[in-house]
Amino acid sequence: MAAESPRKTTEPRSKTLSIHVVTWNVASAAPPLDLSDLLQLNKDNLNLDMYVIGLQEMNCGIMSLLSDTAFEDPWSSFFMDVLSPLSFVKVSSVRMQGLLLLFFAKHQHLPFVQILSTKSTPTGLFGYWGNKGGVNICLKLYGYYISIVNCHLPPHMANNDQRLEHFDRILEMQNFEGQDIPNILDHDLILWFGDMNFRIDDFGLHFVRESIKNRRYSDLWEKDQLSIAKRHDPLLREFQEGPLLFPPTYKFDKNSNNYDTSEKKRKPAWTDRILWRLKRQPQANPQTQRPPAPHFFLSLRSYVSHMMYCVSDHKPVTSTFDLELKPLVSTPPITLMPEGLWTMENVMLISYSLTPDFPSSPWDWIGLYKVYFNISDIPETEGQFLLCYYSNNLHSVVGISKPFKIQPGSSLAEDPLGESQPHI
């Protein structure tokens, strides 16, 4: 391979990224056969760029954990099998017992995604047991700091104060000492979701169920514990949430859409929630009274539950966001491409160029991957292979070639992008 001279950069244009967030307490169940509705694969022209998937109460028995240590857990494997053919790559994941957080992105965004840290914060049994708590992925996306938190807070009606305490504790533990990463409250975006376990106070079971039956959800909002806390807690007030226009997502009889018919007859509640917090923007100019031009803004496209899934006593909840940003990083650190015609009979050459400030390392490597594209995204004339440049210093892919063809008869790897198998 041969390095070329540094490239000139151009002024970046604003862009919009679509992000789909999933939270689901799966109650130790295996993945159902079809998750198209959950992943919005049945929506026309959705054109998503990223998936953020958080699960709670995955099977965390000792045999399951040992198996998942050696192999991908069934849920991660399922999502990878479904999303890989659509050009998505699993960029990062973190698991703590029953909590799992996955981050997928379309392959063209990989040079602009840098995973900075993954973290687990147990809060069960005085902070020593991971059956409750939070898992976090901290990353830079086109130069902006983003934290993603999947949590499982304490259950039961009477433990509202404990839930708020655990929320604060998880937030306080997201420090990144010695890594030159700002405090989480200084990040441009925090996505926070999970089984937060907040309940509906005061109202009796009959009133709650009648309100749900008649779709009078607004009658229940004023006694929702999280909504009440957001009105009084200064920090929670900074987190936004879409309107609760869907039925409470807990607690159902498994394999049905009936709320709890057991002896306990638990009162339905919106336990499964998706919140977000944008970094405070500069104030408006007092002379013009105009706010500064937006350079990083998140808008909510949908916030819904998915009643069709019955494997758990919770229903999954999803949000789809549009993230508008002006990239702080618009040029990949590395641009690379194959030279000449590639066949197994010829010497295969690669040319690449790099930005002046790229921290190269002798341990960097280039991998060749066979990938499977959605034919609606890539014309049939495009090839099926990509070159990817992995940076040892940045611990991420920092350059991807355009798809290209290799002459028939070559016996190269056929792993989807994301299954690391370098050939060069």
What does the pLDDT read at residue 416? Answer: 42
Higher pLDDT, 130 or 235: 235
Q: At the topology level of CATH, where does 332-424 sit?
A: Immunoglobulin-like (2.60.40)
Q: Within 13 A of 3's CA, how many CA atoms are on the CB side? A: 12
Higher pLDDT, 369 or 398: 398
pLDDT beyond 60 at 126 = no
As beta bridge partners, residue 101 has: 54, 94
Confidence of residue 180 (pLDDT cuts 50, 70, 90): confident
What does the pLDDT read at residue 286? Answer: 56
What does the pLDDT read at residue 422? Answer: 36
**Is-same-fold flag (15-325; 332-424)?**
no
* CA angle, residues 54, 199, 53, in degrees to nearest 5: 5
Residue type, 267: K
Spans of all domains in the chain:
15-325, 332-424
Segment 35-62 shows an average pLDDT of: 90
What does the pLDDT read at residue 417? Answer: 45
**Three-state secondary structure string covering the chain:** CEECCCCCCCCCCCEEEEEEEEEEECCCCCCCCCCCCCCCCCCCCCCCCEEEEEEECCCCCHHHHHHHHHCCCHHHHHHHHHHHHHCEEEEEEEEECCEEEEEEEEHHHHHHEEEEEEEEEEEECCCCEEEEEEEEEEEEECCEEEEEEEEECCCCHHHHHHHHHHHHHHHHCCCCCCCCCCCHHHCCEEEEEEECCCCECCCCHHHHHHHHHCCCCHHHHCCEHHHHHHHHCCCHHHCECCCCCCCCCECECCCCCCECCCCCCCCCECCEEEEEEECCCCCCCCCCCCCCCCCEEEEEEEEEECCCCCCCCECCEEEEEEEEECCCCCCCCEEEEEECCCCCCCCCEEEEEECCCCCCCCCCEEEEEECCCCCCCCCCCCCCEEEEEEECCCCEEEEECCCECCCCCCCCCCCCCCCCCCCC
Instruction: Give the list of residues 6+ apart from residue 357 with CB closer than 8 angstroms, or none.
Output: none
What does the pLDDT read at residue 210? Answer: 97
Q: Are strands 50-56 and 15-25 parallel, antiparallel or unpaired?
A: parallel
Burial of residue 103 (CB within 10 Å: 0-12, 13-18, 19+) is buried
pLDDT beyond 70 at 166 = yes
Segment 108-133 shows an average pLDDT of: 83
Segment among 64-78, 171-185, 198-212, 227-241 with least mean pLDDT: 64-78
In CATH, what class is 15-325?
alpha beta
Q: What percent of the chain lies above the pLDDT cut of 90?
A: 65
Among residues 15, 121, 36, 30, which one has the least CA distance to residue 306?
36
Segment 376-380 shows an average pLDDT of: 45
